Amino acid sequence: MDFKAEVIDKSQQQPVVVDFWAPWCGPCRMLGPTIEQVAEEQKGRWTLVKVNTEEEQQIAMQYGIRSIPNVKMFYKGEVVAEFAGALSKTQLEQWLENTLPDGRKETLELILQRLDGDGDLTELEAFVAQHPDMKDARLALAGELAISDPERSEALLMPIKMSDPIAEQAAAVRIITELMRHQADDSKAGSLLAQAQEALRQRKREEAIQHIIEAAGVDKTYHSDLPRRAAIAFFQYWGPQHPITKSYRRKFDMVLY
């Protein structure tokens, strides 16, 4: 085979996944149909090339193949990820999700950088509509809508499963939508959460987290621990380096413990 043309050159435009196998290899016969099925299902995202190590011993030696099956992902002419042994279909899909270079992610990052906080989500909305299968984009839009439109935010998160790498972030957004949908009662904790909801609608994040932390201190068990869960969700969504997280995470811990 012309490995340079079929793998190295093609990988300049699209990831190429190379399955090194041999006819006598039992695990290869298990992995082969699985990787071929996934390649067909994900056609357009990457290309599968099968290399029989019995016929292409020089290529196998060049890439250090000592046991099979061995799968390597090439991108821009270089090996960017690999695994050895047979994976299940679910494991293979997870490996691809975690390792596939995706130009769409770079585009999404640029879109998110351009968001200026004034609520104009036109560009992000269009991107999600164009790439409904891209869970990172769905999460980003869900996070932006969690306060203003919690029902739609939850709908956007539905395809994200517990096994996905972004499951924890999605869970945090779901708790924020739960907070925004909550019908507060007349208790002290309920009143504080109502004030937090209003502050969030007005984009007063620092004021909102103050009310949430106070509510957690007033009644730790209120509405299935909602104040505590909401505070943790916001800290996780904002990230540890966000100024509000830095200022209030320790205060929140002190209130609880």
Residue 185 annotated as catalytic = no
Work out whether the CA dihedral 188, 181, 161, 213 comes out positive or negative. negative
Burial of 29 (0-12, 13-18, 19+ CB in 10 A): middle
Largest CA distance in the chain: 77
C-alpha triplet 86, 92, 93: angle, nearest 5° = 165
Residue 211 annotated as catalytic = no
* Contact between residue 24 and residue 13 where contact means Cβ atoms under 8 Å apart: no
Active-site option among 7, 17, 18, 28 = 28
Q: Considering only CA atoms, which of 78, 77, 76, 130 is closest in space to residue 107?
A: 130
Helices (H) and strands (E) in the chain, counts: 13, 4
Where do we find the tokens 């096994």? 163
* Contact between residue 59 and residue 6 where contact means Cβ atoms under 8 Å apart: no
* Contact between residue 164 and residue 170 where contact means Cβ atoms under 8 Å apart: yes
Q: Which residues contact 24 (CB under 8 A, 6 or more apart)?
A: 54
The rounded distance, in Å, linking the Cα atoms of 221 and 4 is 63
- Give me the residues paired with residue 47 across strands: 16
Active-site option among 17, 25, 108, 212 = 25
The rounded distance, in Å, linking the Cα atoms of 235 and 219 is 20
Which positions are catalytic? 25, 28
